[in-house]
Amino acid sequence: MIRYLERILNRALKGNDLSQKEIYYLLSLTQRNQLKRLFKTADRIRKKFVGEEVHLRGIVEFSNYCRNNCLYCGIRRGNRKARRYRMPPEKIVKWVAFISNKLKYRTVVLQSGEDLWYTKEKLVRIIKEIKKRCKTVVAVSIGERDYETYKAMRKAGAERSLFRFETTNPVLYKKMTGRSFVQRIQHIKWMKELGYQVGTGPLIGLPEATIKDYVNDILFLKKYNIDMAAMGPYICHSDTPLAGRPNGSVEFSLKMLAIARIVCKNIHIPATTALQTLAPLNGRQRALNCGANILMPNTTPAKYRKHYLLYPNKVCIFEDPVACRQCVTQLIYSLGRKIGEGYGHSLKLKTKKL
Ligand code: SAH
């Protein structure tokens, strides 16, 4: 069996595409030495295609109001225990100016629940103001809007979007979110069409997801030429209908990450906060060692941070952004890597425009 594994990995190293069957095989590996080989190969491919730079993206969670009711999510509409907040637009701009101009984050991700209080006009104003005052890339992660809103935000200066598909199994997607999978994918297509660099991927460990679903998740990233494979483990929140379900597995999440690197090659892959939450000692380090090249520290103001609980026990909830910046810098250096100095644009873009 080791021979079969070596054959697949060598083919990947030579730049070949892997078949559905081969990806299935890699996802099913459990033996320690085999996983070691897999992770090592992913690390080699990461080195070759993205180098030693780790890019930082600061996430600002500006509102936890949400019109949706996803079964897994702690800020779902139905969770009466969540204390809701909204950052006023001027405050968002001011805060982004601080983390960009002072802490030198070259990308800021504006994330929220699906909160229509922030109209197209408000979003455009926020983005324009940020682009005027800061040398930063703006990524939006605000869920589903209409085409015109994506277009207006893009025109205002937003260049990236973070928008997970959660699972490529349409039946499971419907069950978990109450929404249409076809519509979700349509939005990804719109964003691509509008020239956004798109980050998407699955929530790993959703109840009832199968290995076959995960194979399709990986193939989706490849097929749609996705710029960032944004995937992380599901963590059970007790104030949701999924209370009591097991968390996603750290090991399996690392496997997904490594395989995404091996299959997609020139793609950005973040080591997620959720992974670090499940493996507080070394989650991010392990991810960076098997394919990841992005860190997305939480840069939400402390006052709001404790209320943006998609899942419980989130790490760094009390850390101030200056300490956090030092902590990630330390982490990156300790692995012998360096902090990306540029904007960390998509590796699939030949020309970049700011
Ligand atoms: N509302 C926006 C963005 C915010 S949610 C959107 O839907 O795109 C960001 C991501 O958090 C979701 O896509 C989901 O994958 C993840 N998430 C939600 N609940 C989670 C949980 N319990 N454990 C881990 N990740 C979760």
> 308 C-alpha vs ligand 1 centroid, how far in Å?
11
Of all residues in the chain, the percent with pLDDT exceeding 90 is 94
User: Best mutation site among 59, 61, 73 for ligand 1, i.e. most ligand atoms within 8 A of its Cβ?
Assistant: 73
Tell how far the Cα of 184 is from the centroid of ligand 1, in angstroms: 14
Per-residue model confidence as pLDDT tens digits over 6-60: 999 999 999 999 999 999 999 999 999 999 999 999 999 999 999 999 999 999 9
Residue bearing the bigger pLDDT, 199 or 320? 199
Q: How many angstroms separate the most distant Cα atoms in the chain?
A: 59
* Residue 64 confidence (pLDDT): 98
pTM: 0.96
65, containing H or E segment: none
| CB 163 near ligand 1, within 6 Å | yes
Q: What is the pLDDT of residues 177-187, one digit of tens each?
A: 999 999 999 99
Q: Ligand 1 atom closest to Cα of 237? A: 22
Pocket test for ligand 1, best of 76, 118, 234, 307 (most atoms within 8 A of CB): 234
Question: From residue 182, how far is each of 93, 168, 186, 324 by CA, in Å?
Answer: 34, 10, 6, 38
**Cα 73 to averaged position of ligand 1 atoms, centre (Å):** 6
What is the pLDDT averaged over residues 335-345?
A: 96
Confidence of residue 318 (pLDDT cuts 50, 70, 90): confident
Residue where the block lists tokens 């026990």: 313
Helices (H), 246-300: 250-264, 273-278, 283-288
223 phi/psi in degrees, rounded to 5? -60, -40
Q: Is the CB of 237 under 6 A from ligand 1?
A: yes
If you take atom 25 of ligand 1, which residue's CA is the nearest one? 234
Ligand 1 centre to CA of 310 (Å) is: 6
For residue 352, what pLDDT band results from cuts at 50, 70 and 90?
very low
Ligand 1 and 274: CB distance under 6 A? yes
pLDDT higher than 80, residue 288: yes
41: three-class secondary structure by DSSP = helix
Digit-coded pLDDT (tens) for 173-214 = 999 999 999 999 999 999 999 999 999 999 999 999 999 999
Which strand (E) or helix (H) includes residue 198? strand 197-200
Torsion of CA 308, 311, 317, 321, to 10 degrees: -60
